[in-house]
Structure 1
Amino acid sequence: MKRINIFSGKHRLPAIAAGLLLAMSACTKNFELYNTDNTGIPNGMLEADFNNLSYLKTATMAIYNFSGGGDPNSFQLQQNLNADCFSGYMASATPFNGGRNNLSYFMMTGWNGETFKAGYLSVMGQLAKLRQSNIPKDFPAVWAVAQIVQVTAMSRVTDVYGPIPYSKAGTSKTSIDYDSQQEVYARFFKELDTANTTLRDFIASGKTLPFKFGDFDLVYNSDFTKWLQFSNSLRLRLAMHVIKADPTLAKTEAEKALDPAKGGVITSNDGNMTVRIPGAGYTNPLVFIAQNWNDIQINASLQCYLTGYKDPRLGKYMSKATDPAVAGKYVGIRLGSITSSNSKSDYVEYSGINYKDNVFTLNTPVQLMTAAEVYFLRAEAALNNFANAGGTVQSLYEQGINTSLEQWHVADANYVNNSVNTPDKYVDPKNAQNNIDTPTHITVKWVESATPAQKQERISTQKWLAMFPEGQEAWTEFRRTGYPKLFPVVNNNSGNTINSALQVRRLPFPQNEYNTNNAAVTKAIGLLSKPEDNGGTPLWWDKR
């Protein structure tokens, strides 16, 4: 496939017009509309509703955007050259813009709007069309899934920018106001309340749908019990996001998520939230970029944790380098080390995501949440003395590790008890200026007498290792907790707007919003923790 130039003007945000053309009002309005009985539907209505479900399918794919007919250019800008790298998972050997780009903290205007674009055009816009159909009224359980998809996708959008248009998105006004991130999160929890109530009622009724919903459900193949468990797990994730910004809200929502009467959370790998590749013309975009473009490799931070811990997932996550200088070794690239003096060939044969051994293929489902992550979230809930965590901090921590090892088929009874190994220091055989000492001396084995900070570091570090390769949530967790400790950027081209020690905290608002929704986006800057629209400004929940 011919490579698309990501600097081309045609990949900048198109005019999204006043109101973002969403035609979608708040999903918490008219709750009763989505809880009506779904029986007695005339057969003549089923065909139209069946066709409308393609909107849900498209929106689900756009969470982690591979909806472009197999071309992952949108995903490359939406996540891969941003969150995947800021999370410590990925780095690129390609000297985009002469090495002055997001990976060296020179925030590229042409890159930073893609997350916004995918969220509004490919998720909110598609679900707006679905809402205008008979689906919400006639099949409320299906609409509940759509609500969960929307919260999943838009939580990622707000965690990139902070304030976003949400409650008023889809109105006909020429200027669409932004909600503060605090308001957006409050709305997420209300939307999950509605969706969860609907799913529990539908499951309890014993009814089935009069059509094959599995053809459009790319995640759980019409298993509504698993959708309910994911929804509760998502609530738990979002609750822990806000634990420093609003501890009371975090406790309330986490305990609600963990309440067994609410349907439970993901507890085994068969409940992992993964989006399957729907068929010909579509691919896993991360694998495509690595395999076909050689545009993404492994970050030095991830490599040093895996090699230092002698982690059994090492050979699953990473391929061995083929560069003559490091052939046969696992070697990552330190973020910000690629400059104008480098050509792509200098580092492109360092370690990459392991598609060479078919661990990752073009048909590998896209991973968005795993049972292991949920165990670590529960461990943190227990650490904070929340009710219903379902175990001790140590037992949940160890179960998180072992569930991840089981997911990758590398069970190792000794790993969880290793009290010796620590992350490696980084050595770049091509440029000693990139060398750096180990970021931490934290070990794997649980230590009950450790300080609260050390306990949090263990939980967060192992959760980070278990969430690979899902960099969006990994970046959020790094910003929220400060863990794992990642190597700082080598070259910081931010013009002093981003602190190298704190690293990137958010993306600037899209240029297209300044062009088409200027008054609202200007006002939104005042909703940030400080009125500066740059990569160094913390989000509402970012109280590190």
Structure 2
Amino acid sequence: MKKISNKYRALALVALTALLGAGACTKNFEDYNTDPTGLTEDQLKPDFNFIGGFYPQIQSSIYYNYNNTTWEYQLQQNLIADVYSGYMMSANPFRGNISNLTYSLVNDWNGFPFSLAYNRVMAPILEVKRRGAQSVAPDFWGVALILKVEAMHRVTDIYGPIPYSQYGQGGTTSAYDSQESIYKRFFLELDTAVTNLKAYIASKPGATPFAKFDMIYGGDYKQWIKFANSLRLRLALRIVKADPATAKAQAEKALADNGGLLETNNDNVMVSGFGIRHPLYTITNKDGWSDISMNASMESYLGGFHDPRIGKYFDPASDYPGQYKGIRLGGSITAKPGYSGFSTLAYKETKSIKDNSPLQLMTAAEVYFLRAEAALRSWANPGGTAQELYERGITTSLSQWGVADQASEYMNDAVSKPAAYVDPKNAANNAPSPSSITIKWDDGATFDTKLERIITQKWIAIFPEGQEAWSEFRRTGYPKLFPVVNNLSNGTISTTIQIRRINFPQAEYVANQAEVQKAIQLLGGPDNGGTRLWWDKL
């Protein structure tokens, strides 16, 4: 992954200042028409500064931490998707254990994925558009569209219907779109992005005008095309149960595109530079917050599989030296130091999670597992058999985490299974093994067993990106996760089926009430955590 030069940090911070005053999402769509830095667009036009300066904020606001406040990420993702994915659980008894962690959804928390995405991603993209990027710099616009799709598919995958097609058209409210129509628009926007970038490469081979604003690929548009194609493949499989024909067509389009897909760890989509820090370092660090730890489901799978990545992902439990101990979601957490001595993320021993670690959005390993599923479904051009691609996914992930020397032994293990969970502090949290799945590929297994094997290994590989892991769990039912211990949803969320979404923000009920009511109709069920999204089919 190429790095950006620090000499452009000041430029980015000046440009970002223009966007810091945003309030509620929908009522401020029309407010981004002036630049309070005092610089005119003409003064910023040389070297595309007049549009490029917005991109560092956009890139660092997807897996959110662009201003390094960390608590916003904690509410955007860490106390939602990171725990619902089975990756993490908090040792902090937030709100007396009456919170998201026990399915008692906290309105003050759950608006953050919405407001941060609109105010920090959609608003600057709208300003880039207003400044004429579509015509004067279609290559920059292509990158903006890729980032827009990456950011907003996460938002619709949290809530369902969201404002999208009419965003920025003025007024104090904005119409919600159905998730089906949003996904169709995603595919069209990726079409435009790839077309624009290919045209630029053909006309100006080797040019990198976006380099000084690029926190991911150093301005290499060929890499951005790989990201776009890989993102298309991810989204195609996301909708396979809801719209099988479109899913197949879009997946095969991604697989056949001559721009390629993410294939090596050098292709991984990792956001870094401009002083950005990794929020999980502060949240897990015992010298910081000590607010997030290993989830019991991760202990079950990584421990049961004797997975060599366990020490790269987590530190051993300080209360139980040499052991890795996770915490059950929704258990009765006692006040610190209660469970603080269980395994934290690996910040201390292997130091995989550092203050300046890049923010991971997508990896080549994930793409191999996507291709493996495409092959399993007999779609065209996956580039190998399901087994070959499954094994490439594993080896690519093990290589990413520095344990590639153990790949053969790991992939040929046909015996190890996820382990039962034992809580040494509270036997009420104990649970039997969630699954009997093993690691080694079995070509004679059923379709469902093969799919569980692929998704389970993908889940392990894409850590710590909990939003994608939670979405894939909801789509497929895999990996099989320990259910919540204490379900305080008052019957709105099934303990067995587990949480499916987050309710619409309360701020939207105040500022955009009529449209929220329409959104609930589009959702097709009550606005609570038990209602399935459009793509979330049985």
TM-score scaled by structure 2? Answer: 0.91
- Corresponding residue for residue 449 of structure 1: 444
Once the two structures are superposed, residues 335-380 of structure 1 have per-residue CA deviations (whole angstroms, 9 ceiling, x without a partner) of 00134xx112100110011010222101000111100000000000
Aligned to 1:527, the other structure's residue is in SS state helix
Cα distance change on mapping 1:259 and 1:345 into 2, 3 Å: same
1:277 positional shift: 3.7
1:136 positional shift: 3.0
Task: Give yes or no for the alignment of 1:287 onto 2:281.
Answer: yes
Residue of 379, 382, 392 corresponding to 1:399: 392
What's the Cα RMSD here? Answer: 1.7
Asked whether the 8 Å contact 2:61–2:116 carries over to 1, the reply is: yes
User: 2: CA distance between counterparts of 1:485 and 1:63?
Assistant: 27
User: 1: CA distance between counterparts of 2:232 and 2:171?
Assistant: 31
Aligned to 2:341, the other structure's residue is in SS state coil
User: 1: CA distance between counterparts of 2:293 and 2:418?
Assistant: 19
Asked whether the 8 Å contact 1:19–1:171 carries over to 2, the reply is: no
Aligned to 1:409, the other structure's residue is in SS state coil
For 2:368, the aligned partner's letter is: Y
Once the two structures are superposed, residues 417-452 of structure 1 have per-residue CA deviations (whole angstroms, 9 ceiling, x without a partner) of 100000111000110000001001100000011011
Residue of 506, 514, 535 corresponding to 2:509: 514
Aligned to 1:274, the other structure's residue is in SS state strand
Once the two structures are superposed, residues 67-112 of structure 1 have per-residue CA deviations (whole angstroms, 9 ceiling, x without a partner) of 22x2111100000000000000000010110001001100000000
Residue of 376, 382, 388 corresponding to 2:381: 388
- Corresponding residue for residue 29 of structure 1: none
- Corresponding residue for residue 3 of structure 2: none
For 2:328, the aligned partner's letter is: R
- Corresponding residue for residue 240 of structure 1: 237
Once the two structures are superposed, residues 467-515 of structure 1 have per-residue CA deviations (whole angstroms, 9 ceiling, x without a partner) of 0000000000000000000000000000000001111100000000000
1:190 positional shift: 0.4
Cα distance change on mapping 1:108 and 1:45 into 2, 3 Å: closer
Cα distance change on mapping 1:142 and 1:449 into 2, 3 Å: same
For 1:305, the aligned partner's letter is: Y
Once the two structures are superposed, residues 3-44 of structure 1 have per-residue CA deviations (whole angstroms, 9 ceiling, x without a partner) of xxxxxxxxxx953353644769xxxxxxxxxxxxxxxxx997
1:46 positional shift: 3.6
Q: Which moved more, 1:136-145 or 1:369-378?
A: 136-145
How do 1:304-323 and structure 2 match up within 5 A?
304-323=300-319
User: 2: CA distance between counterparts of 1:290 and 1:513?
Assistant: 32
- Corresponding residue for residue 344 of structure 1: 336
Cα distance change on mapping 1:423 and 1:520 into 2, 3 Å: same
User: 1: CA distance between counterparts of 2:71 and 2:147?
Assistant: 22
User: 1: CA distance between counterparts of 2:98 and 2:105?
Assistant: 8
User: 2: CA distance between counterparts of 1:375 and 1:290?
Assistant: 30
Task: Give yes or no for the alignment of 1:301 onto 2:301.
Answer: no
Task: Give yes or no for the alignment of 1:115 onto 2:110.
Answer: no
Asked whether the 8 Å contact 1:23–1:170 carries over to 2, the reply is: no
Q: Which runs of 5+ in 2 are unaligned?
A: 1-21, 34-40
- Corresponding residue for residue 15 of structure 2: none
Asked whether the 8 Å contact 1:19–1:169 carries over to 2, the reply is: no
Q: Which moved more, 1:376-385 or 1:138-147?
A: 138-147
Aligned to 2:162, the other structure's residue is in SS state coil
Task: Give yes or no for the alignment of 1:438 onto 2:433.
Answer: yes
Q: Report how many aligned residue pairs link the two structures.
A: 505
Aligned to 2:361, the other structure's residue is in SS state strand
- Corresponding residue for residue 180 of structure 1: 178
TM-score scaled by structure 1? Answer: 0.90
1:207 positional shift: 3.8
- Corresponding residue for residue 461 of structure 2: 466
Residue of 473, 478, 498 corresponding to 2:473: 478
Q: Which runs of 5+ in 1 are unaligned?
A: 1-12, 25-41
Task: Give yes or no for the alignment of 1:215 onto 2:212.
Answer: yes
- Corresponding residue for residue 358 of structure 2: 365
How do 1:61-140 and structure 2 match up within 5 A?
61-68=60-67, 70-140=68-138
Residue of 151, 169, 172 corresponding to 1:171: 169
Identity of aligned residues (%): 50
Aligned to 1:368, the other structure's residue is in SS state strand
User: 1: CA distance between counterparts of 2:273 and 2:499?
Assistant: 31
Asked whether the 8 Å contact 1:220–1:227 carries over to 2, the reply is: yes
User: 2: CA distance between counterparts of 1:349 and 1:162?
Assistant: 37
Asked whether the 8 Å contact 1:307–1:424 carries over to 2, the reply is: yes
- Corresponding residue for residue 257 of structure 1: 254
Once the two structures are superposed, residues 300-326 of structure 1 have per-residue CA deviations (whole angstroms, 9 ceiling, x without a partner) of 001110010000101100100112xx2
1:201 positional shift: 1.3
Cα distance change on mapping 1:48 and 1:511 into 2, 3 Å: farther
Task: Give yes or no for the alignment of 1:231 onto 2:224.
Answer: no
Residue of 496, 503, 512 corresponding to 1:501: 496
User: 1: CA distance between counterparts of 2:280 and 2:504?
Assistant: 24
- Corresponding residue for residue 8 of structure 2: none
User: 1: CA distance between counterparts of 2:487 and 2:44?
Assistant: 58
For 1:496, the aligned partner's letter is: G
For 2:337, the aligned partner's letter is: S
Task: Give yes or no for the alignment of 1:525 onto 2:523.
Answer: no
Cα distance change on mapping 1:199 and 1:210 into 2, 3 Å: closer
Asked whether the 8 Å contact 1:22–1:121 carries over to 2, the reply is: no
- Corresponding residue for residue 54 of structure 1: 53
Asked whether the 8 Å contact 1:116–1:157 carries over to 2, the reply is: yes
